[in-house]
Amino acid sequence: MNLIPSFEFQRVIVAPWTQDIGSYGWIALMGFLVATACGLVGNYLILRRMALVGDAISHSVLPGLAIAFLVANTRSSLVMFLGALGAGVVTTLLIELIHKKSRVKQDAAIGITFSSLFAIGVILISVYASKVDLDQDCVLYGEIGTIPLMGPTPIVRMACVTALTIALIIVFYKELLVSSFDSGLAYSLGINAGVVHYSLMCLLSVVVVSAFESVGAILVIAMLILPGATASLLSQRLPLMLGLTVLHAALSSVLGIHLAVWLDCSIAGAMVVMGAVLFGLAWIFSPQQGLLWRALRSRGNHCQTVPAVLSSE
Amino acid sequence: MRFANYDSRFTRCLLLLAVILGAGTINVSAARIGDISETDIVGQAVRFFTFQDPAVRYALIGSMLLGISCGLLGSFIVVRKMALVGDALSHAVLPGVALGFLWNMTKDPVAILVGATLAGLIGAATVTLIKQTTRLKEDAALGLVLASFFAMGICLVTMIQRLPTGNKSGIDKFLFGQAAALGPDDVRLMAIVTAGAIAAITIFYKEFLVTSFDAAFARVAGFPAQVIHYALMLLLAFAVVIALQAVGVVLVSAMLITPAAAAYLLTDRMSRMLWLSAIFGMVAGATGAFFSFLGPKLPTGPFMVLGATSVFVLAFLFGPRHGVIVRWLRQRSRARRVQRENTLKSVYHVLEARDFKGEGVSLRELAERRRETIEDVKEQASNLRSNGLVSLHDEGDVIFLTPAGWQLACAIVRNHRLWELYLTNAAQIAADHVHEDAEKIEHVLGEETVRQLEKRLAGMTTDPHGKPIPTLADIRQGTGFSERPTEPTGYGKR
């Protein structure tokens, strides 16, 4: 058996949408919902230079989930949500505490906090392996491949979260926009930056915990950052960026399924790899910031004489 | 030049350690007993501490070695504010580990080392490139590279596990770490890398130090900052890779950041920070090896990380200089001193208001002066008495200043009024704006500053509000203040 199976058009491209639509359709939908919700929130994280807070929260959700399981002994959505929200708040507070009360810088504070919480989570799920319905593999890869077997509940839940995210972003569009770009203007318009910040953190916790089950703790970071980063390479206008985020989510989900079917590997991993490939394409070919145009432009500049450069300005 | 005479004792110690490590690894040759079937915790603990089992020895030595190398290199990334670069680098090595594994389908430490180091360096270079060529900021670039490389690694790992030989390869041990899986080859490689890191840091200590703390000076002085940066990345990648098997990809960054951050809280000197950080890393490594040995399925990495976190929490709370508790105590004692001095000042004001006739000040007078309740003033008075600054009479209702109390009260009032005078005379600030500032500074003016103020303001006896400034003679005089000298005696005459 080879590491890389041969590329059979029928098996890789056609079959997932014809005979296996029953399972891959659901997986594609789930991947799209997860990537959309994460990507939309992630856009604001990137704009506010808080991408690594997303990193921290996605790791520290694990102990929150494990403790919620152990205390309440159920896997109901509400308990999971509360556990994850608690973990998210604790993470934010701990980072602030370490950063404010000692001379440790913020980056190190983030690193210390999330790794400790994640370590507690991993120990809890390995000690109480029989009681907690989570295992180490799920933490890393997610369980998106088993979505078709789990009935409609997870998809409906994720759809609700995605709809909630979209609704909140539409309703509070102005507040988010202004407070992300110009805190002074936000203050003068009477927008409470603290409330916006903590609401965004809560939304992030909700999105991360819903996505956690499907894609695992670490790939969530990719889902948060990749769509927004790709979009920001292609456009400078926020509405367009949000649209491109959704497009990126859909493309990476569909292409990821094809890659996973071809290579027979982790589906969540393949979705992220395709998302990264899309980012790479945007990085090279983007009309304004792309590497290719940059290279062409700089060569063009070399050929121009000094008066030409002056006159062109 | 100050950088030239860096601690040569430190250098020699490190070299000695490097030699011992290098020599020690040659004798590591016993067979490895990997499978641990007992589940009895006490029995396992006894087995751990008797060191009979070679697996225990390998796990322990390996964990301590990785603690040393991660602690040393982590110190540099913490002081360079690059902590999360370590995080990104450690996630980015995963595809390299998988490719190194594919090289000949066994867990060959050297192939994995090469693959993982390359992947880590490519990851670090990608972060730099994204930062330089796009509008994305460092945080987004780090998160992006971290997660994308990790996803590639996950895809490769799942593909390897699908292969017939892949399933028992133990590649999944790389994710959360299992120190019990360390063999003699692994430990030997860890020792070589650790010795190399120690040697590199010892030899190029000055270069690492200068580029970490003062990049501009390093450039001017002709240090190749870029080369040193990439050398550090290379060493970092090595340290991450040898730590992988015991700590796991996911948590390796904590072994870089946490011991170094704990050491950073305890000292201001780089050489001492390196020592502390290496020791903390070692302690954390040994802790992790011990706890994961107690149960059959316990991963090592998380326990190591929690060991390191405990050290950090202790340093955070009880550090002698920067610890939270010490700082809180210091702050409280400062607040109390200010409170005492303010009360004494009020006593002086009361006395001054009645031209220093009669020495006792009743609590009521003081309370009116301070606009506080009698209870508050009473408490302050008893605090002053326990510091020997006042004595209480008439059942604690009347306050008499002791000589020490009188001197302190005069000194504070004098500081206050001198400062007011200075602000109005030298800084041309209106007289009604200087009081607030003087209220704050009166408690912190040092002897030296007061002498300078005296010199500048020689001959002036009253503050901008027309009140006489207590003279040095007043201070020396003690409590008998019937006559005030007309001529200022202490001013300007040193």
Q: Quick one: which H or E segment has residue B149?
A: helix B138-162
Whole-angstrom distance, CA of residue B285 vs CA of residue A4: 38
Which CATH number is B42-319 given? 1.10.3470.10
Q: Under CATH, to which class is B327-401 assigned?
A: mainly alpha
pLDDT per position as a tens digit, B165-176: 655 566 677 777
Reported as a pLDDT band with limits 50, 70 and 90, residue B199 is very high
> B155 and A266: CB-CB below 8 Å?
yes
Which residue has better confidence, B493 or A42?
A: A42
- Contact residues for B142 (Cβ-Cβ < 8 A; gap 6+): A51, A52, B84, B85, B87, B88, B127
> A102 and B87: CB-CB below 8 Å?
no
CB A199 within 8 A of CB A26: no
Is B240 within 8 Å of chain A by CB?
A: no
| Interface pTM, i.e. ipTM | 0.88
CB B211 within 8 A of CB B223: yes
The mean pLDDT of A284-294, rounded to a whole number, is 82
Tally Cβ neighbours within 10 Å of residue A168.
Answer: 17
The mean pLDDT of B230-257, rounded to a whole number, is 87
CB B138 within 8 A of CB B128: no
pLDDT at B24 over 80: no
pLDDT at B39 over 70: no
Whole-angstrom distance, CA of residue B422 vs CA of residue B450: 11
pLDDT at B485 over 80: no
Comparing A60-74, A208-222, B21-35, the range with the smallest average pLDDT is: B21-35
Whole-angstrom distance, CA of residue A213 vs CA of residue B129: 33
Reported as a pLDDT band with limits 50, 70 and 90, residue B34 is very low
> B134 and A263: CB-CB below 8 Å?
no
Q: Under CATH, to which class is B405-477 assigned?
A: mainly alpha
Comparing A7-16, A163-172, A204-213, B127-136, the range with the smallest average pLDDT is: A7-16
Mutation to test the A interface, candidates B91, B101, B137, B159, most A Cβ within 10 Å = B159
Burial class of residue B261 in the structure, from the number of CB atoms within 10 Å of its CB (0-12 exposed, 13-18 middle, 19+ buried)? buried
The mean pLDDT of B347-370, rounded to a whole number, is 82
The mean pLDDT of A279-308, rounded to a whole number, is 75
> B152 and A265: CB-CB below 8 Å?
no
One-letter identity of residue B312: F
Comparing A27-41, A299-313, B19-33, B458-472, the range with the smallest average pLDDT is: B19-33
Top mean pLDDT of A195-209, A237-251, B471-485 is at A237-251
Tally Cβ neighbours within 10 Å of residue A190.
Answer: 6
pTM assigned to the model: 0.79
Burial A119-139 (b: 16+ CB within 10 A, else e): bbbbbbbbeeeeebebebebb
Whole-angstrom distance, CA of residue A72 vs CA of residue B40: 29
Mean of all residue pLDDT scores within chain B: 80
Tally Cβ neighbours within 10 Å of residue B54.
Answer: 17
Q: What angle do CA B171, B162, A62 make, to 5 degrees?
A: 55
pLDDT of residue A309: 47
Is B309 within 8 Å of chain A by CB?
A: yes
Quick check: helix, strand or coil at residue A164?
helix
Instruction: For residue A34, give how far its alpha carbon lies from the nearest alpha carbon of chain B (Å).
Output: 16
Residues 93-112 of B with CB under 8 A from A: 102
Is B326 within 8 Å of chain A by CB?
A: no
Domain ranges of chain B: 42-319, 327-401, 405-477
pLDDT of residue B471: 76
Instruction: For residue B8, give how far its alpha carbon lies from the nearest alpha carbon of chain A (Å).
Output: 28
Closest by Cα among B43, B90, B406, B42 to B239: B90
Q: What angle do CA B282, B99, B32 make, to 5 degrees?
A: 45
Domains of chain A with bracketed CATH = 17-312 (1.10.3470.10)
pLDDT of residue A37: 94
pLDDT of residue A302: 58
A-B contacts at Cβ under 8 angstroms: 210
Structure tokens at B149: 């490389």
pLDDT per position as a tens digit, A137-157: 677 777 777 777 777 888 888
Whole-angstrom distance, CA of residue B141 vs CA of residue A254: 24
Contacts of B325 in chain A (CB under 8 A): none
Contacts of B164 in chain A (CB under 8 A): 1
The mean pLDDT of B252-271, rounded to a whole number, is 91
pLDDT of residue B10: 54
pLDDT of residue A134: 65
